Amino acid sequence: MTKIFKSPMTVDVKDDFVVFIIGMRINKLWKINKWLPIVRAMPKMLEELYANPKLGFIHHESWLGRTSIMLQYWKSFDHLEAYAQSRDGNHLPAWADFNRKIGHSGDVGIWHETYRIENANYESIYNNMPRFALGMVGEHIPVKEKLLTARGRLETGK
């Protein structure tokens, strides 16, 4: 069973990192032949990323629905960009397949956002939670004193 931390916890990530949020929206539910290949492409990429730590991928969380969202953590933007552009990986063929089969049809939407987190310019808190999201990336530490508020966590770099 997953351990639940009953007291407030925060995270200390020593190095800069990248948060990458990627998602898909099924605009035409009945066109399963359009969106199912996209759904099936992501697990192949995740398997590849977890099997090759040198690619710079750290961790992910995901939520599925008509609009699906995946939260990813990377060591750097350079790692993320290199993976996205690599001719040896699973991403480029999946991207080419999307453009060939869906393009601008409106059947399936995709999106992403990228955030560079530098100089410990982040804060987090988890209460009654297992290690989750950023908590899987850095050192999981109890919230004490200055860490009790979001401002305190930002100002101390936690």
pLDDT at position 19 is 98
The phi, psi pair for 27, rounded to 5°, reads -85, -30
Taking residues 65-94, report their average pLDDT. Answer: 95
Q: How is the chain split into domains, by residue range? A: 9-13+120-156, 17-117
Query: Is the CATH code 3.30.70.100 the one for domain 17-117?
Result: yes
Comparison of pLDDT for 28 and 101, the residue scoring more: 28
Asked if 23 and 69 count as a contact pair (C-beta separation under 8 A), the reply is yes
Question: What does the block give as tokens for 42?
Answer: 């992501």
Q: Please write the tens of the pLDDT for every residue from 26-51.
A: 999 999 888 888 888 899 999 999 99
Asked if 67 and 25 count as a contact pair (C-beta separation under 8 A), the reply is yes
pLDDT at position 158 is 64
Task: Find the farthest-apart pair of alpha carbons in the chain and give their distance in angstroms, rounded.
Answer: 55
Mean pLDDT of the chain: 92
Asked if 74 and 14 count as a contact pair (C-beta separation under 8 A), the reply is no
Q: ∠69-51-12 over CA atoms, to 5°?
A: 65
Eight-state DSSP code of residue 4: P
Q: State how far the Cα of 149 lies from the Cα of 46, in Å rounded to an integer.
A: 34
